[in-house]
Amino acid sequence: MRAAAVCYLLLIILTPTFCFAAAVERFHGVSIGMSQRLFERIYPKKQARTYRGDGTDEWITFNEPLKGASAGMVTFHLHQGKVTAWRVNDRPEVIEEYMGEFCSPSFSSQGGMPRMYAAISDVLLRIPLEAFLKVTDRRHPVLFTEVYDAGTARFANTAEIISSEDDAPAFQGGMAIIKLSTAFNEAATPAPIEGVIAHELAHRVLEHVRIVHKTCDLERQANALVKQWGFVDEYKQASLMFGHREGDAASCKEDKSK
């Protein structure tokens, strides 16, 4: 009560933003200007969700809260070894960090498949936070890699995920691998690609990858979740462009009654 009264008095005498500024300059013991050495006593880098470095700048994301059931994320920005800022649930930044660690370099402007990168990023940006936290958990992450449908690489090729000494441990609970055909490059827009990616992530969220015997019902469950997430148009475009054709032996028809 006393602290609140002092804060209220300062608000009147000084400026209306003073207490707010003081409040946001600390986060679970972390303060602006704190050295990296002290910061890592509170947030050990080996417990990070994702990491990105660029020269003297680092962006490190952790579960929020750090221990217990995760309800979100917090990303800290460090410059020249000092904390300069943090943001809670900064999903675009976390996606950039995550894809830098767990996505094939081919899915980038340098790799020649920027449409694939854009599609993966957009799906990760739009799925519910609970699903996002699950599929990007480095203890059991989803890896995105390519499958070649032309050239000699269609017979055999190698993909690699590289870890550095700055990376937190990963894969303790295994991994899921989403293999995307290079034929997706023929799509005029990312939309149908997003429909496929959302469908595959739905299988991961629903834990279908652990089921040995795949059935059409599992496909329908994944399709229903994709639509629930808001990818209705993307699902339709993916079905038209990449889905099974009528009469295909492996075709799973949608249940029109639902």
Question: Mean pLDDT throughout 99-109?
Answer: 86
Report, in angstroms and rounded to the nearest whole number, the Rg of the chain calculated over CA atoms. 22
Using one digit for the tens of pLDDT, what is the confidence trace for 164-217?
A: 777 899 999 999 999 999 888 888 889 999 999 999 999 999 999 877 677 889
- Backbone phi, psi, residue 26, to 5°: -135, 140
DSSP code of residue 113: -
| Of 164, 175, 103, nearest in space to 139 by CA | 175
Top-confidence range, 59-63, 115-119, 214-218: 59-63
Question: Mean pLDDT throughout 97-111?
Answer: 85
Residue in the block written with tokens 């995760």: 70
State what percent of residues in the chain have pLDDT above 90: 60
User: Where do the domains of the chain lie?
Assistant: 2-88, 93-242
Per-residue pLDDT, 247: 57
| Of 213, 199, 189, 204, nearest in space to 244 by CA | 199
Residue 133 predicted with pLDDT over 90: yes
Top-confidence residue, 16 or 24:
24
CATH topology of domain 2-88: Beta-lactamase Inhibitory Protein; Chain:B, domain 1 (3.30.1450)
Rounded Cα gap, residues 8 and 198, in angstroms: 49
Question: Mean pLDDT throughout 227-246?
Answer: 87
Residue 109 predicted with pLDDT over 70: no
| Of 91, 196, 198, 103, nearest in space to 141 by CA | 103
Per-residue pLDDT, 21: 38
Distance of CA 174 to the CA centre of its chain: 17
Per-residue pLDDT, 9: 41
Cβ burial 101-119 (10 Å sphere, 16+ → b, else e): bbbbbbbeeeeebebbbbb
Write down the mean pLDDT value for the chain.
85
